[in-house]
Copies of this chain bind each other. A is one copy, B any other.
Amino acid sequence: MELAFGHPKSLKPIQTKYCPGCGHGVIHRIIAEVIDEMGLQTKSIITNPVGCSIWADLYFDFDSVQPAHGRTPAASTAIKRMLPDHLVICYQGDLAAIGTAEIIHAANRGEKFTTIFVNNAIYGMTGGQMAPTTLVGQYATTAPNGRDPVEAGMGYPIKVCELLATLGGTKYLARGAVNNPANIKKTKKYIRTALEAQMRGEGFTLVEVLAQCPTNWKMSPADAVGWLEQNMIPFYPLGEIKNTLQPAQTDAAAGER
């Protein structure tokens, strides 16, 4: 009996505090797998943000830093500048609101860490408030009649990759999803491309991952994944939004593993 799929080393084999069916779990796993594959477990640092993934440091089996809400890109900037040979992962849910200035300027400076932006279209930890990426019409406790950009002046869902793509420092921006095995594998490939580019010191890399939050969407996990497929993916196109990495290496990284 040969092991085909099993627990990555960089993730601790413990029960998480995430809700049943939460998208964070799969994202954690694929990050850990890539780190294992790259052999960087003891050279990695993750910044766990304020949000449900505040717990990330309980699960990832390597160093971590927990900065203030929204400021992970600022903290990650400094961490990577101090430790340029380390793999620095800026794990974020909150970058399009309170972290707007921080992510835009880290991106514009071409800071050489990698951001994993978990877009679950909601503020999970605080109980379901509108996020900058909440879809038009989507319910949130602070958008009790659904997000209404015009009448209620709540603004439009922000496409983070597309916004950042205009900035000079950004080298690799991709959007994946964790709704099904195919997309999960693609997302993992994006993450691997980004992390490899980081270690080559190419510039700013970010992978946005569409993820479900069954709890605050008030759906079963299966329904949540379905909702993600029917509503989020059409609005937030999947794929590599910007890729100006060195061509040779991109090819290598893009090869199926």
Given contacts A163-B163, A166-B166, A167-B158, contact A153 B111 (CB under 8 A): yes
- Which residues of A (138-176) have their CB < 8 Å from a CB of B? 149-150, 153-159, 162-163, 166-169
Q: What's the least CB distance linking A102 to chain B, in Å?
A: 8
Mask for A69-107, Cβ within 8 A of B = 1, else 0? 000000000000100000000000000011111001100
Cβ 8 A contact of A149, one of B98, B109, B154: B109
Residues on B with beta carbons closer than 8 Å to the beta carbon of A105: 97, 100, 132, 155
Q: What's the least CB distance linking A142 to chain B, in Å?
A: 13
Q: What's the least CB distance linking A13 to chain B, in Å?
A: 38
Q: Say whether A110 faces chain B, with CB atoms less than 8 Å apart.
A: yes
Q: Say whether A108 faces chain B, with CB atoms less than 8 Å apart.
A: yes
CB atoms of A110 and B162 under 8 A apart: no
Q: What's the least CB distance linking A40 to chain B, in Å?
A: 22
Q: Chain B residue with minimal CB distance to A165?
A: B166
CB atoms of B108 and A153 under 8 A apart: no
Residues on B with beta carbons closer than 8 Å to the beta carbon of A150: 110
A158 to B100: give the CA distance in the assembly, Å: 14
CB atoms of A156 and B108 under 8 A apart: yes
Residues on B with beta carbons closer than 8 Å to the beta carbon of A169: 149, 155-156
Residues on B with beta carbons closer than 8 Å to the beta carbon of A157: 168
CB atoms of B149 and A168 under 8 A apart: yes
Residues on B with beta carbons closer than 8 Å to the beta carbon of A132: 105, 108
A-B contact pairs, 6 of them (CB 8 A): A100-B105, A101-B101, A105-B155, A109-B153, A110-B153, A156-B167
| Chain A interface residues toward B at CB < 8 A | 81, 97-101, 104-105, 108-111, 132, 149-150, 153-159, 162-163, 166-169
